Structure 1
Amino acid sequence: MEFFADYAGFLARTVTVLVAILVVLVAIAALRGRNRRVASGHLDVRKLNDFYKGLRERLEHSVLDKAQLKAVRKAEAKAAKQTKKAGKHKPRVFVLDFDGDIKASATDHLRHEVTALLSMATDKDEVVVRLESGGGMVHSYGLASSQLARIRDAGVPLTVCVDKVAASGGYMMACIGDKILAAPFSIIGSIGVVAQLPNVHRLLKKHDIDFEVLTAGEYKRTLTVFGENTDKGRQKFQEDLEATHELFKGFVGRYRSQLDMAEIATGEVWLGTAALEKKLVDELRTSDEYLAARAKDAELFHLHYAARKSLQERVGLAASVAIDRVLLSWWERLSQQRFWQ
C-alpha cells in the first residue's frame, strides 16, 4: 500500500508538471500567433523550367548512351553560352492556379498572387491561370473575376487554361483571358443563374406550427424556407435572377464580343470541341502541353500564396477534405453506371 501511495504521488506530480508545461507552450504559441497577424502568409515562387528540365534529363539518362548524352549536354552548353553572349533575356511567364469551390475560397490567395506579379510584370510578360471551377456564389466569383481583370487592365497578356471545367462563375473568370485554352473534353459554359431552396410551410401547417417572418421593406424577404411563399414574392425573386443574368451576359460580352449571346447564354454547357465551334474558347490544348512548349523559350515562375493557418483551422480543413473525398468517392460509385453503361 505504501508503494502504491508513493506511485500515486509521483504520478500526480508528473501530471502537474506536464500540465504546467502545456499551459506555458499554449501561452507562447498564442503570443507568437498574435505577433504574426500582420504577416499572415508568404508567397512561394518555384521555377517550372527546372521541373521540366528534370523530367527531360531523367529520361535522357535512361534512354541515351554516354556518347549521345555528352553530345546533348555540349549542345545545351553552347546554346546557353550564345544566348548569354547575345545579351538576350527570355520572356517571363507567371503561372497561377485557381481551384474554385462554391464560395470561390481560392480568391483569398489569388488576390495576393496578382498583387505580387503586377508589381513587376510588363506587357512583354505573360500570366497563365490554370482554372478549374464549376461556379458558385455570384458575389464570390464577381470578386475572383475582378482579380483577373486587374491583370487584363494592366496590359499584361493573360492566358486561361481549362483542363476540366470552367462553368458559370468559372467561365465568368475564364472569359477575361486574352486567350482561352481548353482540353477537348473539358466542360465549358453554363452562362446562367440558378437559385433553389426547400419550403416546409405545408408540413408545419399540417402539425399546427406557426412561423412568422417580420420585415421592414416590401421585398426584404421574397422566398422563405418556413413561411408561406406568394406569387408576388416568386415574381420578384425571378426578376432578381433575370437581372443578375443580364449582368452576367453583359460581363461576358465585354470580354468576348465575338460570342452570339442569344445562342450561348442559355445555361447550357458544352465539351471543349463544341465550345471551340461556338467561340467560347480559342484553342484546344491542355495546360501541360502549353506550358511545356513555353518552357522552351521563356522563364516560367509558379506563384502560390500560402496563408498561415491555426491548429484549429488545419484540423478543420483536414476533416473537411476527408469528408469531401468520401462523398466524392460515393458519388463516383453511384454515378459510374449512368455514365459508363
Structure 2
Amino acid sequence: MEFLFEYGLFLAKAITLVVAILLVVGFVVSMASKQKQMPGSLEFDSISDVYDDLKRQAQSVLLSKDELKAKQKEEKKAKKDESKSKQESDKKPNLFVINFEGSQMAKEVDSLRKEITAVLCVAQDGDEILVNVESGGGVVHGYGLAASQLQRIRDKGIKLTVSIDKVAASGGYMMACVANEIIAAPFAIVGSIGVVAQLPNFNKILKKNDIDVEMHTSGEFKRTLTMFGENTDEGREKFKDELHEIHSMFKDFVSKNREGIDISKVATGEYWLGQKAIELKLVDKIQTSDDYLMQANDTHKLYRLKYATKKNLAQKLGLAVSSGLESAFHRLLSQLRHSWL
C-alpha cells in the first residue's frame, strides 16, 4: 500500500508537471509569434591577443622578477624598433578562423554563409581562412550548399585551410575536400564517402488493423518509398538508383578537388583515422588546429569570426523555463527512484 501511495503521489506530480509544461510552452509560443526575430551580428575576436595574454601569464609564473623585468624590457624595445622601421607588425596578413559544427540538417550553413561573406568583403592579398570543420555529415542539399560556400573562398583566390580535430565525415568531408590544404589530428575521423538512406514502413501494421492509406501522385516516380503505403520493387530500385547517382556526384566532387586520390579505394563509405587518411591522400598533414594557429601567429594576425543570432525575450524565457523544467523533472525521477528502493 505504501508503494501504491508513493507511486500515486509521483504520478500526480508528473501530471501536474506535464500540464505546467504545456501551459508554459503555449505562453512562450504565443509571445514568440508576437515578437520579430532579432537580427544577428558579427563578432570578431583577436586570437593573437589571446595567445599573447597566455604567454604573459606563463612568463609571470615561470620567470623570476628580474627575468620578467628583463623580458618585458626586451619586448618593449623590440616593439619600439618595429614601429620606427615600419616593419611587419602592421603589415602582417590576416588569418580568419571560422568554426563549423554541423548538425544532420546542416542548419549552421545560414551562419556560415554570412561569416564567409563578411570575410570576403574585407580579405586582401596574402590573407588566409582556416575553417575548423566538425561534422559527421547529414542531408545532401545542406552539405552541398556548405561546400559551395567554401568554394566561394577558393574562387576569390584566397588560401583556404580546413582543419579536422575530431570528425569530418560524409558531408563533413565534402566540405573539407574543397580546401587548398587539409590538416587533421592523428585520431580524427575522416572519409565516409558514401550515401545512406533509411525509411520505416508501417504498412503491415496498418493492414493488420484494417487501416487503409491512400496516396495519389502524378508522375511515375513522384514517390518511390513511403512510410505508410505498400512499397513496390520498382520503387525500391528507383530509390537505389537515386542513391547511386548522388554517390557518383559525391565521388566526382572529391576527385575534382583532391588530385591523385584513388577514388575507388576511398569511396566505399568507410572512414579512417587521420594517420591512415594521410596515406590515402584524404588529408595533407597531421596537425591540430591549435598547432597550426600557434605557428601562424608569428606571420599573421589571427581573428576568430562568428555570426551570432540575438535571442528575443520569448526565446530567452523559453531557455530559462526549459532549464528549470528539466531540473524539476530530474528531481521527480529521483523521488520515484528512492520510493522504489
Same structural fold, with TM-score higher than 0.5 when normalized by the shorter chain: yes
Look up the match of 2:200.
Answer: 198
AA of the residue aligned to 2:241: E
Alignment coverage as a number of residue pairs: 292
Deviations 1:139-168 (A, max 9, x none): 011111111111111000001011000000
CA 1:263–1:123: 2 relative to 1, 3 Å: farther
3-state SS, counterpart of residue 97 of structure 2: strand
Distance 2:239 2:248 in 1: 14
Asked if structure 2 preserves the Cα contact closer than 8 Å seen for 1:123 and 1:157, the reply is no
**d(CA) in 2 for partners of 1:105, 1:314:** 20
Report the Cα distance in structure 2 between the residues aligned to 1:241 and 1:159, rounded to whole angstroms. Answer: 30
Matched, 1:63 2:65: no
Q: Which residue of 1 aligns with 2:80?
A: 81
Aligned pair in 2 of structure 1 residues 316, 199: CA closer, same or farther (>3 Å)?
farther
Query: What does 1:95-244 align with in structure 2 at a 5 Å threshold?
Result: 95-244=97-246
- Is 1:135–1:167's contact at 8 Å kept on the other side of the alignment? yes
Deviation at 1:314, TM superposition (A): 4.3
Q: In structure 1, how many angstroms separate the alpha carbons of the residues matched to 2:217 and 2:255?
A: 37
Distance 1:127 1:118 in 2: 10
Q: Distance in 1 between matches of 2:143 and 2:81?
A: 47
**5+ residue gaps, structure 2:** 1-29, 327-341
Name the residue aligned to 2:15.
none
| Secondary structure of 1:221 counterpart | coil
Q: Secondary structure at the match of 1:143?
A: helix
Normalised TM-score (structure 1): 0.81
Write the distance in 2 (CA, Å) between the matches of 1:288 and 1:125. 19
**C-alpha deviations, 1:280-326, integer Å up to 9, x for none?**
00001111111112112210011111112334444566759x99xxx
**Stretch moving more, 309-318 or 252-261:** 309-318
CA distance in 1, matches of 2:42, 2:155: 23
Change over 3 Å in CA distance of 1:30–1:247 after alignment to 2: closer
Structure 2 residue identity aligned to 1:254: K
- 1:122/1:155 contact within 8 Å kept: no
What one-letter code is carried by the residue in structure 1 that aligns with 2:213? F
* 1:79 Cα deviation after fit: 2.4
Q: Could you state the TM-score of these two structures normalised by the residue count of structure 2?
A: 0.81
Deviates more, 1:166-175 or 1:66-75: 66-75
- The counterpart of 2:302, out of the listed 289, 294, 300, is 300
What amino acid does structure 2 have at the position aligned with 1:269?
Y
Deviation track 1:107-154 (CA, whole Å, cap 9, x = no partner) reads 111111111110121230110111100000000111111111111110
SS in structure 1 at match of 2:122: coil
Matched, 1:42 2:41: yes
Q: Does 1:255 align with 2:253?
A: no
**Distance change >3 Å, CA 30–CA 139, structure 1 → 2:** closer
- Code of the aligned partner of 1:75: E
Post-superposition CA distance 1:221-248 (Å, at most 9, x none): 0000111111100000000001111111
> What is the match of residue 329 of structure 1?
none
Whole-angstrom CA distance in 1 between matches of 2:113 and 2:61: 42
2:311 to 309, 312, 321: 309
**Consecutive unaligned residues in structure 1, runs of 5 or more:** 1-25, 324-341
* Cα gap change, 1:202 to 1:111, in 2 (>3 Å): same
Q: Which amino acid aligns with 1:131?
A: V
Amino acid at match of 1:84: S
Q: CA deviation at 1:78?
A: 2.5
Partner of 1:280: 282
User: For residue 74 of structure 1, what is the amino acid of its counterpart?
Assistant: K
1:337 equivalent in structure 2: none
% identical equivalent positions: 51
The structure with higher relative contact order (CA 8 Å, sep 6+) is 2
Q: What amino acid is the match of 2:131?
A: V
3-state SS of 1:119 partner:
helix
For residues 238 and 254 of structure 1, the distance between their equivalents in structure 2, rounded to whole angstroms, comes to 24
